[in-house]
Amino acid sequence: MLQNIAQFGSDVCMIDLPVISDPRGDLTFMEGNNHIPFDIKRVYYLYNVPVDSERGGHAHRELEQVVFALSGSFRMRVDDGRNKADVWLNNPRKGLYLRNMIWREIDTFSQGAVCMVLASHPYDEADYYREYEEFIRDV
């Protein structure tokens, strides 16, 4: 289920994944082109991040992502060049979908936070905007 972040329309939205619960615990699953709105080409995760660290600080020309807090919590600051919002991730069933051309910054990591990212493309440095001014110019 997709829940749009109002000012971004469908460019930034929360994805609520299914859960199967029983006395042994919870199981959540996801499938590319079903629960995730693209074919998953890369998965990576951040962990052992110091609580005062900042990550992200970039946008992508083509790449789409879904970001999850598998453990703990952190804040995602998202910006499409016109609108900005802070989104807290703290539930492993809820992922933040980011289309291309969305600037993102991640901070305020809790102790033991694990951030998992599903990406629509393999890593390509040429796809990154690393300078905010260049991103704003191209938006």
Catalytically annotated residues: 58
Nearest to 92, CA basis, from 71, 111, 74? 71
- Bridge partners of 54, per DSSP, are none
What's phi and psi for 133, nearest 5 deg?
A: -60, -40
Task: Give the SS3 label for residue 133.
Answer: helix
Strand order in the sheet with 9-16: 2-5, 9-16, 94-98, 65-71, 114-119, 42-46
Contact 68, 95 (CB under 8 A): yes
